[in-house]
Amino acid sequence: MTTFADPSTFPSALDPTTAEEHDAAAEPAASPESAGDTRDFAALGLPQPLVRALARQGITTPFEIQSATLPDALAGRDVLGRGQTGSGKTLAFGLPVLARVAAGAAARPLHPRALVLVPTRELAMQVNDALLPLGKAVGVFLKTAVGGVPYDRQIDALRRGVEIVVATPGRLGDLIERGVCRLDDVEVTVLDEADQMADMGFLPEVTELLAKTPAGTQRLLFSATLDGDVDTLVKRFMTDPVTHSTAPPTAAVSTMDHHMLLIPPQDKFPVVASIAARDGRTMVFARTQLGVDRLVSQLAAVGVRAGGLHGGKTQRMRTRTLAEFREGRMNVLVATDVAARGIHVDGVSLVLHVDPPKDPKDYLHRAGRTARAGESGAVATLVLPKQRRTTLAMLEKAGVEPEQTRVRAGDPTLTELTGAREPSGVPVREEPEEPRRQGARSGGPRRFGDRPQGERRFSDRPHGERRYGDRPHGERRFSDRPQGERGYGDRPQGERRYGDRPQGERRFSDRPQGERRYGDRPQGERRFSDRPQGERGYGDRPQGERHGGDRPHGERRFSDRPQGERHAGGRDERRDGDRWQGERRYGDRFAGERRYGDHDGRTPARAR
């Protein structure tokens, strides 16, 4: 069995304190204070740099799951840990991983030394945020590898070398297929929320990833439940694991108030809106992504600002929504089960099930968003008459005995139980959810098109309010000239624009005497409709100028030529369209073979 430091520094399995700790594992969950009365992090064998880093964050007393698992995990043993939601499982596996990695050499490029697998992107980021400052304290680099974000930064970090990768199974598999991540150097692997990964269908991917790690390395598995498909992973990949269970399966909700609110169908949304309008931070769970989006819009219409969180949103939108909820910029988060596992937000005082979950485990994980780490909270489930029997059966399996109450919108009982109040009715402006355009500058939570006061967006300019193409005084744009401020097409005196020329300068189609333009020919050369004598432009006529259709006595129409005049080819013959006496075409006239414009009654040969 591999250890990362001198085993003499760790508590022995025969040590009385360790035995007491293992005995306590079967007792109901104790508060952090009671767990810290006898042992602290240093006594559990945690290296001093990490103890000091925790103290700087105000963390000096371990929770029960941490006290139970740290000695065995630090000693290099495989550990199965099950604790109540919000009991501190992240540090329970994060601290021994950091300690082991910090004691070794730096990671090689593309070869992480530790791997943490989690089911959702939000949980991966939460784990990374919790361990990142501790990793900096001991010189350990971490990187998340999750979907929904570009590969570039993840690949660059792996090429530079990172000790710990916190990943979702799908994205990690993609990186391995691209050849930018190899698990040959992994010394410890962590599965967090393993039961949810099995429920979400990740078991094949997780099995494949674990098979790529070296055999015999340390593996830590933490979850709120240790049953079902999790046993398959345990039997195949874990060696003589030590199990630490700090609470029975229902202990996660034993400190909460559970209410089953029986409502008529027509009052469902008014009840939801009044509960969402309460003071305090509220998480609302719906069954489908469409239900989440619809509920967010309906709440906004009655004056309740809420954010939606589900797997159909981009990672950037999900991260932003969760950040706004954490920071208190909005008090209502509407989510699907994607947020029910592992997401920790301080101060959630009420969890509302708009759609009752079908699985008792889903109920426990949803309810676990409140009453975390010793805090108090309430869980309310809205139940229609036809849902009552199935919901009670589900709650019985979850070990919950709710208080059943019939309520309607506006009932004082509803206010007493949940703090519900009438929403303002003033619609909330729904902000666009499009991501920022590429290259946009940071500095505040901006959306495409939304800008705080004084901020510029594309085409906006400060003083002078310049738009694209406008320039301040003295600035030149395309086709502008330095002297004065000129718009497109404006020119000062003496300035030329396209087509304009001063005296003596030639423009297109202007020619001095004797100069030829396109199609012009000198004396003796003829072009289409040109005549040799004099310089005539297109449409120009010699003395006695003629318009289309006008002909002097004996003149022929266009394409006619006098006797002896030749067309291209040098023939004094008839052009196409000319006819001799007796021949007529469309428009020809009988008397004297006249065409349009002919007046003397003669045929073309005698037209002169």
Q: Which domains does the chain have, with CATH numbers?
A: 76-247 (3.40.50.300), 255-418 (3.40.50.300), 509-545 (no CATH), 546-608 (no CATH)
153 and 162 Cβ atoms separated by less than 8 Å: no
Query: Closest Cα to residue 69, out of 104, 21, 120?
Result: 21
Instruction: Name the one residue in this structure whose structure tokens are 């004099």.
Output: 534
245-262 pLDDT per residue, tens: 875 555 444 567 899 999
Predicted TM-score of the model (pTM) = 0.59
220 and 77 Cβ atoms separated by less than 8 Å: no
pLDDT value for 398: 87
Residues 30 and 553: their CA atoms lie apart, in Å, by 123
Residues 76 and 220: their CA atoms lie apart, in Å, by 10
Mean pLDDT of the chain: 75
Token pair, residue 73, equals 């995990």
511-534 pLDDT per residue, tens: 555 555 555 555 555 555 445 455
| Strand ranges (E), 300-377 | 306-309, 332-335, 348-353
565 and 572 Cβ atoms separated by less than 8 Å: yes
User: CA quadruple 94, 97, 103, 106: dihedral positive or negative?
Assistant: negative
Q: Looking at the predicted structure, is the pLDDT value of residue 287 above 70? A: yes
529 and 568 Cβ atoms separated by less than 8 Å: no
CB atoms within 10 A of CB 84: 28
539-577 pLDDT per residue, tens: 555 555 555 445 545 555 555 555 554 544 444 444 444
Helix (H), strand (E) at residue 167: strand 164-167
42-96 pLDDT per residue, tens: 999 999 999 999 999 999 999 889 999 999 999 999 999 987 666 788 999 999 9
Encode 370-387: b = buried (16+ Cβ within 10 Å), e = exposed: bbbeeeebbbbbbbeeeb
Token pair, residue 441, equals 């500058």
260-269 pLDDT per residue, tens: 999 999 999 9
Residues 608 and 598: their CA atoms lie apart, in Å, by 11
Instruction: Name the one residue in this structure whose structure tokens are 């990793």.
Output: 135
Token pair, residue 46, equals 């945690």
Helix (H), strand (E) at residue 395: helix 388-397
Least confident of 130-134, 179-183, 398-402, 411-415: 398-402
At residue 257, the 3 state secondary structure works out as strand
CB-facing half-sphere around the CA of 282: CA atoms within 13 A: 24
Strand partners, 413: none
- DSSP per-residue letters across 216-229: T-EEEEEES---TT
Pairing mode of beta strands 142-145, 281-285: unpaired
Taking the alpha carbons at both ends of the chain, their separation in whole angstroms is 122
Q: What are phi and psi of 260, to 5 degrees?
A: -110, 110
213 and 358 Cβ atoms separated by less than 8 Å: no
Instruction: Give percent above pLDDT 90 in the chain.
Output: 45
